[in-house]
Amino acid sequence: MLPTSRVGPGGASFLEALFTATSAVCVTGLTVVDTPVYWTGAGQVIILALIQIGGFGIMSFASLLGVLLARHLGLRSRISTAAETKSVGIGDVRRILLGILKITLLVEAITAVLLSGRFFVGYDRGPAEALWLGVFHAVSACNNAGFALFSDNLVGYVGDPWICLPVAGAVILGGLGFPVLFELRRRFRYPRKWFLTTKLVLPGTVLLLVLGTIFITAVEWSSPATLGQLRPDQRVLAGFFQSTMTRTAGFNSLDIGQLHPVTLLGMDVLMFIGGGPAGTAGGLKITTFAVLFFIVYTEISGGTAVNVFGKRLPRSVHRQAISIVLLAGALVVGATMFLMLITDFGLDRILFEVVSAFATVGLSAGITADLPSVGQVVLILVMFAGRLGPVTLASALALRSRPLQFEYPKERPLIG
C-alpha cells in the first residue's frame, strides 16, 4: 500500500494490495490491476519477493509436513509414508530445505538466462531491461505464479518458442514437486526403485500435458479469435503452452476470454487436478486423482484391494483422497453459486475464475477486476484455502488416524 509501490499519486487501496499480495504469496497470478502499468518498479520487486517466498515456503511446508507425518507414526508406517506418500525420506530438515533451495535457484537461473538472452537479442531490449524481464518471468514461472510484466501477459509472444518453451519448462519442473525432482536427481537411471509418488506423478504429468494439448488445439484450431490466426506450428505451440499453464501457472499466450466454453470447461478439469505434491503447483494433485482412478478401476474389475505398481494402497489413503475431492468440490461449487448471485457473469466464466483461484492457477476469463469487492474477497479466501487447504487437510487426516479396538457389524445400503 506504500505510495512508492504504485504509479501515480497515492497508494493502492487495501483490497487491491491485499488481493495482489495474496495472489503473489499463494503463487496464483490472478490480478485486479494491470501489473506493469499499475505498479512501479518497487511494487514489482515486492511482488517478485512475495512470489519467491511463497513458492519456497509452500514447497518447504509441504515437504516438512511429510517429515512430520513420517516421524509421528510408528517405524513401519514411517518407512511406508516416506516411501509412498511424500518420498522425502525421514532425514534432517536442513538437508531438505537446502535441496529445495538449490533446485529452485538452478531452474530459475537457467530460465532467466534463456529469457533474458531472447529479450535482448530478439526484441532489442536493453541489457538491464532484458535481465529484469528474464529474472521476473523465470521466478514467476518456476513458482507457478503466472505474474507477467506485459499487459496482455504473453499473448504477444504466442508464436515464439524461445519465450514459450523456457517458461513452460520451468512451470513443469516447478509443478512436479520437490520430492519427485529430488528422487530423479538421485535415481534417474533406476526407475524400478522410484517411490510410488514419482511413479504416479511423472506419467500423470505427461498424460495430462499431451491430452490437454490435443484437446485445446483441436477445439480452438479454426477459431479466428484464438488459434485460427496462427500458422499450424504456432497453433500446436500455443496449445501446448496453454495446456501447460492449466497445471497451475497463470501465463497465457491466448486471450482466455475468447476461448470456447467447451475449452474453458476442459481447462477447469485440468486446473482442478493440478500438479505434483510438495511443489509450487496447486490443484488437488495428480496423486489424489490417480488414487481415485485406481479405486474405480479396482471396483470395476472386481478386485478386493487397490494395487498400484506392485504396491497396495492403505484404506486410509482411499478415504483421504475421497474426502479432499469432495470438500474441494463443495468449496468450488459454493463460491461459484455465491458469485452467480451477486454478479451477472455466466456460469462458465465464474466457474473458470473460481477453479483458477482454488487451484492457484491465475488464468482469468477477464472478470476478476470487474467483480464487486465482496466477490474479490471471496476469491482471496478461495486462493488461500486452495493453496494451503489440500496439503494441511491430507496431513491432518493422516495424523488423526487411530486404530479402533472394535468394529460394528456390516450392512450394505443400496448404491445407484
Greater model confidence, 405 or 396: 405
User: What residues contact 189, with CB distance under 8 A and at least 6 apart?
Assistant: none
Q: How confident is the model at residue 28 (pLDDT cuts 50, 70, 90)?
A: very high
Give the torsion through C-alpha atoms of 252, 256, 260, 265, to 10 deg.
80
Q: What angle do CA 130, 42, 380 make, to 5 degrees?
A: 105
212 in Cβ contact with 270 (< 8 Å): yes
Which pLDDT belongs to residue 414? 80
Would 411 be classed as within a structural domain?
no
Q: What is the mean pLDDT of the chain?
A: 87
Instruction: Give the C-alpha separation, 100 to 347, whole Å.
Output: 39
Residue 203's pLDDT is what?
Answer: 94
pLDDT of residue 83 exceeding 50, the answer is no
pLDDT of residue 387: 84
**pLDDT above 90: percentage of residues in the chain:** 63
Half-sphere exposure of 85 (CA within 13 A, CB side): 30
CA–CA separation, 87 and 195 (whole Å): 6
CA-nearest of 135, 131, 392, 371 to 380 is 371
Distance between alpha carbon 369 and the CA centroid of its chain, in Å?
Answer: 21
Residue 162 belongs to some domain of the structure: yes
Mean pLDDT of 255-260: 94
pLDDT at 8 over 90: no
> How many domains are contained in the chain?
1
- Tens digit of pLDDT for each residue in 70-80? 554 444 444 44
3-class secondary structure, 220:
helix
Asked whether residue 54 is domain-assigned, the answer is yes
pTM for this one?
0.88
What are the pLDDT digits (tens) for 127-149? 999 999 999 999 999 999 999 99
Query: pLDDT digits over 147-183, tens only?
Result: 999 999 999 999 999 999 999 999 999 889 888 888 8
Q: How confident is the model at residue 345 (pLDDT cuts 50, 70, 90)?
A: very high
> Confidence class of residue 403 from pLDDT cuts 50, 70 and 90?
low
Q: In this predicted model, which residue has the larger pLDDT, 47 or 279?
A: 47
pLDDT at 304: 84
Looking at residue 65, its pLDDT comes to: 62
Position 402 pLDDT exceeds 70: no
**Residue 192: is its pLDDT beyond 70?**
yes
39 within a domain of the structure (yes/no): yes
* Rounded Cα–Cα distance for residues 336 and 263 (Å): 18
Length of the chain: 416
Is 408 contained in some domain? no
236's grid cell: 500446436
In a domain, 237, yes or no: yes
> Considering the domain boundaries, does residue 101 fall inside one?
yes
- pLDDT single digits (tens) 92-128: 566 777 778 888 899 999 999 999 999 999 999 999 9
Is-contact 345 227, C-beta < 8 A?
A: no
Q: Please compute the mean of the pLDDT values over residues 357-367 and round it to a whole number.
A: 93
pLDDT of residue 80: 42
Q: 267-284: buried (b, 16+ CB within 10 Å) or exposed (e) per residue? A: bbebbbbbbbbbbbbbbb
User: Which residue in 236, 284, 273 sits closest to 387, CA to CA?
Assistant: 284
3-state secondary structure the chain: CCHHHECCCCCCCHHHHHHHHHHHHCCCCCCCCCHHHHECHHHHHHHHHHHHHHHHHHHHHHHHHHHHHHHHCCHHHHHHHHHHHHCCCCCCHHHHHHHHHHHHHHHHHHHHHHHHHHHHHHCCCCHHHHHHHHHHHHHHHHCCCCCCCCCCCCHHHCCCHHHHHHHHHHHHHHHHCHHHHHHHHHHCCCHHHCCHHHHHHHHHHHHHHHHHHHHHHHHHCCCCCCCCCCCHHHHHHHHHHHHHHCCCCCCCCCCHHHCCHHHHHHHHHHHHHCCCCCCCCCCCCHHHHHHHHHHHHHHHHCCCCCEECCEECCHHHHHHHHHHHHHHHHHHHHHHHHHHHHCCCCHHHHHHHHHHHHCCCCCCCCCHHHCCHHHHHHHHHHHHHHHHHHHHHHHHHHHCCCCCCCCCCCCCCCCC
pLDDT of residue 395: 66
Query: Where in the sequence is the domain holding 331, given as residue range(s)?
Result: 3-399
Note the pLDDT of residue 263: 96
Residue 319 inside a domain? The answer is yes
Q: Output 324 or 68, whichever has higher pLDDT.
A: 324
Predicted local confidence at residue 48, as pLDDT: 95
230: alpha, beta or left? (left if phi > 0; alpha if psi -120 to 50): beta
Q: What mean pLDDT comes out for the span 233-249?
A: 94
Q: Find the mean pLDDT for residues 186-197.
A: 85
Residue 285 · residue 278 · CB < 8 Å: no
Give residue 90's pLDDT.
45
Beta bridge partners of 312: 307
Among 114-123, 253-262, 350-359, 393-402, the least confident range: 393-402
Query: For residue 39, what are the β-bridge partners?
Result: 6
